[in-house]
Every structure is written in structure tokens, then in C-alpha cells.
Amino acid sequence: MHGIANLSVRELRGVGPKLAGTLADYGVHRVEDLLFHLPLRYQDRTRVTAIAAAREGADVVIEGEVRAADVVFGRRRSLVARIQDGSGTLTLRFFHFSAAQKNNMQTGTRLRCFGQVRRGSSGLEMYHPEYRPVHGENTPVEEALTPIYPTTAGIGQNQWRKLCEQALAHLEREPVNELLPASSEYPYALTRALQFLHAPPPDASLDLLREGKHPAQLRLALEELVAHNLSLHRLRERQQREGAPPLRPDAKLLRAFLDNLPFAPTSAQTRVLAEIATDLARPYPMMRLVQGDVGSGKTLVAAGAALQAIGSGYQVAIMAPTEILAEQHWRTFSQWFEPLGITMEWLSGRSKGNKRAAALARMASGEASLVIGTHALFQDDVVFARLGLVVVDEQHRFGVHQRLSLTKKTAPELGRAHQLVMTATPIPRTLSMVAYADLDCSVIDELPPGRTAVTTVLIDNSRRPEVVARVAAACSEGRQAYWVCTLIEESDALQAQAAQATAEELQLALPQLAIGLIHGRLKPAEKESVMAAFKRGELALLVATTVIEVGVDVPNASLMIVENPERLGLAQLHQLRGRVGRGAQASHCVLLYQTPLSHSGMQRLAVLRESSDGFYIAEKDLELRGPGEVLGTRQTGLMEFRIAELPAHNDLLDEVQVISDTIRQSHPELADPLIQRWTGTGQQFAKV
């Protein structure tokens, strides 16, 4: 198609080389890109409000006559004008103004102003309203709601409006291409939806528009989610075309491993192991996400997959986001795999010099069958002889392109390594349909026997002495406890200081207890030794930052105190809580919150008190905090939609799935234009 889809923005009035360059940097190259640059919100300038009817906090248009205007010298010099409309008086206040502006505000001048009404020292006021002189009683008001567009430095709202008005004029002459299959019923035609959203009529429901529920928004959100889903499927197809080594199940090796375990796998683990075994035997890369609640036994499933690769003569890389979790995996796998004669290697940021060189050599020669490490595995000098499987733990801490770059570290003739992605942060079904459409999903929905439910209580920080007494009582009975310090700052140094201060305060209050301290600033060897002492029972109480969120397993610890839990997401709190309840005795988690707590803060913490089901908690977290927060910062690039919003548009996702499948099977020619229209250059991650 030619015309509107390929018409350059340079063809529009007022777009010179400089503005065209700024627009291009922002991803707007064509007139069609402007049509899909949709407003964030709207202002109602379609009716004039009488001053007497203006309400504090409302954005309104008022019209009145200047009664007085003068420069006032208070704490800051300001231009103040009083205007009246027969129903009341309102003050306009400008802190930045010119002499010309003052001269234009002669007594008797009639002004039309738009701004937010505030309560000031002299009654109702507007600060820096937009205004213009009006002549005569019947000067027309705006005919549509005024759009507020997402913007970038160098482009103002008036420029966006003028550009989009020109794009709409082109749309009048030539409609945009409908790219969704005609077989589906849509509430709005695409062209009509675009016209409506750039210029909604005065009677449009601002509430529906604010909630993203207007039929015109739903039509575009549906198309955007379909484009996003197609781009992830495209990514998957590209991976699978490269092929992968087929890994045959080794029943003998798996049996030897399972026979050595002190417990039998649950039926959920057995089911997921079988799904993985089938995937690995195929000649194209497995791309599977295993979700399991805290303590459901994902590591066992990863071990089964690793044995299938090693039994077929290939290497396995297991990558974890933190040294603590990587070390936990190292201990577990050493215990399981050494009796089977499997050689293992370790690689982290602290592997240096000769030790690192020797580890890299063993990986490159194929001597090391299983390699466990952190982000260090991404580095360019890390090479494998025959990498067959990559296991990524806690996927939400890594970006899509990171996990895919690791699967390329196999010999070119082998294609790509299979990948198994694991997370203990259950991802709501709605979110996984959007963020992980390139992966098959398995869920371990059953806890191993021996795990006890954790009772969660909310206690105000003013009752801190009672909580300290409770810790003393539990530890005097031979049990162990965690005291978790949370700080809103990202700084390791500040978190370490807070934890240090808390440990000193608790040691004064509980001189009879052996108290340990662990935080991100400790050297790995120090962390290791504190954790080992806690595990052996030499320490009764462990004061820690959130570094203990994942991968710490001490069955005798049955009490956890979390300070300022309102600062953390529900998923993270649920992860922390999963450190207790690993033994036979009743376990408790105390959320020691700071008052005053906001209504939403109390709502969030109440969810944890009500439920220990990670999937329910994740759905609630999504509802209360939105997808960017739930997935973690590394994933947010995937979630920056122009109009689609989660969870507001969750109910579209089943239809999105159906339309995406229809396009891939019956109308493949529609996929590229759709992806181009909605993701444009934002689809770069898919090229890894």
C-alpha cells in the first residue's frame, strides 16, 4: 500500500529538518505513526464554567473581564490579575511573565482561561493558566475534548495537536488499512476509532476514557496486543528455525539420581519432568517457563532436565541472579551429582585470575558437564564446547535478550541450546500470555510433603517491644528466626547501615542470643560463613536485608519479622515469607508496618495475611501495582504499550490469542504490517 502508510512527516506543514529529526528519534517517521501516537488523557475545554460553579481541583474554562492587574512583590514577584464574570471573582497568578503580558491585561479586557482551580489566600485562583483575549459574547469554544499526548524534549502539546490534526485530515481522504482478519467482529472500525481518540466529541465519557474502557480504546488495545503477541511468536519461530541438538532421555541416569534422593518427586514434578523430556528430545530449541510457588521443588525439575542433556553428551549452564542463589544451587547440585560422577564448574563475578582462566578452559574443552554461575556467564570470553541446555533461574531479573544471548554460546553447527526458564514469582496467567508468549508454560502446583503453612500477622511498629519478646521466646525454645530490614533506597551502603543498626539494637535487647548479620556489602566468603553458621544452628537470629529473598533453606527457622513491609511488592514479600515453613513446626511471619499506612498499603498487606497461594497473590499484585512493577524493571520494555493497559484489558487476552493464531495460520501476510505498525523499532530485542 502507498499513501498514508508511507507518507513522510516531512510532507506536513511546519515540519522542517530539525522537527523531523526529533520526531524520528521518538519513533515517528510517517503520517501513520502520528495517527497511532495516541493521547494519554483529555481536558474538557468544550464548555465555559461560571466562576461561582468552579470547584477546587477541577480543570475548567472560565471567561471574565479583567478588573485589576498588577505586579505584586511577595516572597516571589508575580503578576496578579482579578477577573469577574457576573457570578464571582477569580485571581490569575503568573510567576513567569513579560512586560507585554502585563500590558495586555488592561482593565476591561475579556479573557478566556483554562487551568486548575486552587484555593488561595484571596479565594479561588489559577496559577499560569492558558489564556487568550476574546471579542464578543459568542466566541466558539473547542468542539472536541483536548488531547494530551505523550511527548519528548523539543515538542510541545500544541505542536503535537497541529501535527495530529493534519494526520487526521489525511485520514479523512484515505482510511488506514484494516489489518485484523475481517472474520472477527469489532465494536469500532479502525479509522473511526482513531478519529474518535484524537478528537473525542464533548459528550464522550471522560470516565470511560480514563479507565481505558471506551469501545474505540478497546478496538486499538486489541490490535496492539495482537501485534505484541505476534512479535513474540516471531521471536520464537526465529529461534526454532535455527535447530537444536535433540537430547535423548537417559532412563538409567535419571533412575540412579531419583533413587539417591531422600524423598519421592510429587506428581506435579513428575508431570513437568515428562513435559521437559519430550521438548528436549526434539531437534529445535525448547523454550519452556516453569513456574512454581516458593518451595515447590523447581530445582529437582532443573536437575532432571540437566541429566537428560549430560546423558546425551552435552553441557548444561545454570544461571542465577545473585551469588547467594548461585551458591545454594552449587551446594544442592554437588550433593546430587557428585555421586553420579558428573564434573561441575563455578563461574561468578568474583572468579579471578588463574582460577577463572582454568574454569574457562574446562568449559571450552567440554570437561565441565555442568556450569553454575551468575551474570558472569554472559561475558564474551565464556565459551562452551557442546552447550545443550541453559537453565535461567528467577527469569524476571534478566531481560529477554540476556537469556537468549546465553543460548547462542553453543557451537554454531549445533544450532541453539535448549532453554528452561524458572521462576518462584508466580506470574498471573494474564501477564504470562503477554510477556512470555514466546515460551511454553509448566506449573508445579503442589508443595512437597513436610512444608507447613505460614501464619502471617500485621503488627504496628509501636508494638515493636512485644515482637522482640516474641523472638526471644521462640529462640529460647530452640527455634531460629529471621529479622528482615527493608529500605526504599537501592543503595547497598544504606541498606547495610540500616541492617547493622538493627542488629546492634537487637543485640542490646537480647544479650542472651547469638545474632548474625548479612547484607549486600559483605564479601561473599563472609556471607557464606554467616549463612553456614545459621544453618548449623550456631546463630539463633539472623538480621538480613532482602538478599535472603531467594535460595536460603534452613528448616529450623520458623519465625520471620519483616520491617516496613509496605516498601516491598507482594511477590517479594511472598518470596521472603517462603524462607520459613520449611520444617515440621508451625511457622509465623510478622509484618511490622509503619503507621500511617495508606489504604492501598493496608490492602496489599491484607492480601498476604489472607492467602499463601502465590498465584492469587501475583494476580492481586498485578491489580494493585501494574505489570512493570510485577515483572521487574528488566522486563518493562516489553510492557510499554501505547494504549493497551494491564490489568484493565485482561478480558481481551483470550480474543487476542484467537486472532493471533488465525493470522499465523490463515493470514500470515498480515503479521509483518501489524508488528511494524505497533512495535516499529521497539521490536529490536527480538533479533537476538
Query: 16-25 contacts: CB < 8 A, separation 24 or more?
Result: 19/154, 19/155, 19/159, 22/152, 22/153, 22/154, 22/155, 23/155, 25/152
DSSP structure class, residue 66: E
Q: How would residue 491 be classed by pLDDT, with cut points 50, 70 and 90?
A: low
User: In this structure, are 409 and 551 located in the same domain?
Assistant: no
Residue 660: CB atoms within 10 A of its CB come to 21
pLDDT digits (tens, 9 = 90+) for 285-328: 998 989 887 667 889 999 999 999 999 999 999 998 878 788 88
Per-residue pLDDT, 688: 30
CATH of the domain at 78: 2.40.50.140
End of a domain among 110, 133, 156? 133
Average pLDDT over residues 160-188: 88
In total, the chain counts a number of residues equal to 688
Q: How would residue 5 be classed by pLDDT, with cut points 50, 70 and 90?
A: confident
Q: How would residue 636 be classed by pLDDT, with cut points 50, 70 and 90?
A: very low
Q: What is the pTM of this model?
A: 0.68
**What are the φ/ψ torsions at residue 458 (nearest 5 degrees)?**
-105, 125
Average pLDDT over residues 598-618: 85
CA distances from 502 to 269, 505, 576 (A): 40, 5, 18
User: Count of alpha carbons within 13 Å of 71, Cβ hemisphere only?
Assistant: 12
Q: How would residue 645 be classed by pLDDT, with cut points 50, 70 and 90?
A: confident
pLDDT digits (tens, 9 = 90+) for 500-551: 999 999 999 999 999 999 987 888 778 888 988 998 999 999 999 877 755 5
CATH of the domain at 606: 3.40.50.300
Give ∠ CA 654-658-661 in degrees, rounded to 5: 135
> Which residue in 402, 362, 441, 454 sits closest to 637, CA to CA?
402
Phi-psi region of 477 (alpha: psi -120 to 50; beta: other; left: phi over 0): alpha
User: In this structure, are 187 and 324 located in the same domain?
Assistant: no
- Considering only the C-alpha atoms of the chain, give the largest distance between any 2 of them, rounded to a whole number of Å: 96
Could you tell me the three cell numbers for 279?
Answer: 521438548
Q: Is pLDDT at 628 greater than 70 in this prediction?
A: no
Q: How would residue 183 be classed by pLDDT, with cut points 50, 70 and 90?
A: low
User: In this structure, are 494 and 428 located in the same domain?
Assistant: no
List, in sequence order, every beta strand (DSSP E) within 467-514.
Answer: 480-484
Per-residue pLDDT, 109: 93
Q: How would residue 269 be classed by pLDDT, with cut points 50, 70 and 90?
A: very high
Residue 141: CB atoms within 10 A of its CB come to 14
Q: Is position 640 within any domain?
A: no
From CA 655, how far away is CA 229, in angstroms rounded? 12
524 and 323 Cβ atoms separated by less than 8 Å: yes
Show the domain range for 75. Answer: 51-133
CA distances from 676 to 22, 79, 681 (A): 20, 49, 8
Q: Is position 629 within any domain?
A: no
Residue 448: CB atoms within 10 A of its CB come to 17
CA distances from 648 to 162, 188, 210, 218 (A): 30, 19, 11, 10
Q: What is the DSSP string of 76-132?
A: SEEEEEEEE-SS-EEEEEESS--HHHHHH--TT-EEEEEEE-EEETTEEEEES-EEE
**Starting from the edge strand earliest in sequence, which strands make up the sheet with 123-127, in order?**
118-120, 123-127, 89-94, 77-84, 59-73, 110-116, 130-133
Q: Is position 621 within any domain?
A: no
Residues near 219 by Cβ (< 8 Å), separated by ≥ 6?
186, 187, 188, 189, 190, 193
Q: Is pLDDT at 638 greater than 50 in this prediction?
A: no
If DSSP states are collapsed to H, E and C, what string results for 11-48? HCCCCCHHHHHHHHHCCCCEHHHHHCCCCCEEECCCCE
228 and 434 Cβ atoms separated by less than 8 Å: yes
**What are the φ/ψ torsions at residue 129 (nearest 5 degrees)?**
-70, 160
Coil, strand, or helix at residue 174? coil
From CA 430, how far away is CA 392, in angstroms rounded? 22
Q: Is position 637 within any domain?
A: no
Question: Looking at 87-101, 246-260, 491-505, which range is the least confident one?
Answer: 491-505
User: In this structure, are 437 and 417 located in the same domain?
Assistant: yes
β-pair partners for 562: 484, 591
Per-residue pLDDT, 404: 67
Residue 96: CB atoms within 10 A of its CB come to 10
477 and 629 Cβ atoms separated by less than 8 Å: no
Q: Which amino acid is at 418?
A: H
Per-residue pLDDT, 633: 37
Q: Is position 383 within any domain?
A: yes
Question: Looking at 216-230, 328-342, 403-417, which range is the least confident one?
Answer: 403-417
Q: Is pLDDT at 684 greater than 80 in this prediction?
A: no
Q: Pick from 294-298, 470-474, 484-488, 601-605 the range whose average pLDDT is largest.
A: 470-474
User: In this structure, are 589 and 537 located in the same domain?
Assistant: yes
Residues near 513 by Cβ (< 8 Å), separated by ≥ 6?
471, 472, 475, 506, 507, 540, 541
End of a domain among 444, 471, 490? 444
User: In this structure, are 177 and 66 located in the same domain?
Assistant: no
User: In this structure, are 284 and 374 located in the same domain?
Assistant: yes
Give the rounded percent of residues in the chain with a pLDDT score beyond 90: 50
State the average pLDDT for the chain: 86
CB-based burial, 381-417: b 16+ in 10 Å, e otherwise = ebebbbbbbbbbbbbbbbbbebbbbbbebbeeebbbb
Q: Is pLDDT at 670 greater than 90 in this prediction?
A: yes
DSSP structure class, residue 440: E
From CA 158, how far away is CA 391, in angstroms rounded? 51
User: In this structure, are 433 and 569 located in the same domain?
Assistant: no
Give ∠ CA 403-409-411 in degrees, rounded to 5: 145
End of a domain among 159, 190, 211? 211
102 and 94 Cβ atoms separated by less than 8 Å: no
Q: Is position 635 within any domain?
A: no
Per-residue pLDDT, 489: 54
Question: Looking at 42-56, 489-503, 607-621, 639-653, which range is the least confident one?
Answer: 489-503
More confident: 618 or 98: 98
More confident: 440 or 627: 440
pLDDT digits (tens, 9 = 90+) for 399-408: 666 666 777 7
Per-residue pLDDT, 226: 93
Average pLDDT over residues 265-276: 94
Average pLDDT over residues 226-248: 87
User: In this structure, are 525 and 474 located in the same domain?
Assistant: yes
Per-residue pLDDT, 635: 40
User: In this structure, are 428 and 536 located in the same domain?
Assistant: no
Give the rounded percent of residues in the chain with a pLDDT score beyond 70: 91
Indicate the number of domains in the chain: 5
Helix (H) or strand (E) holding 273: helix 267-280
Q: Is position 624 within any domain?
A: no
User: In this structure, are 284 and 426 located in the same domain?
Assistant: yes
pLDDT digits (tens, 9 = 90+) for 437-447: 778 888 888 77
Could you tell me the three cell numbers for 401?
Answer: 535478550
79 and 71 Cβ atoms separated by less than 8 Å: yes
Q: Using the structure block, give the residue that is written with the C-alpha cell 554472559.
A: 378
Q: Is position 197 within any domain?
A: yes
Question: Looking at 7-11, 110-114, 232-236, which range is the least confident one?
Answer: 232-236
Per-residue pLDDT, 629: 53
The secondary structure of the chain in percent helix, strand, coil, rounded to multiples of 5, reads 45, 20, 35
150 and 40 Cβ atoms separated by less than 8 Å: yes
User: In this structure, are 202 and 229 located in the same domain?
Assistant: no
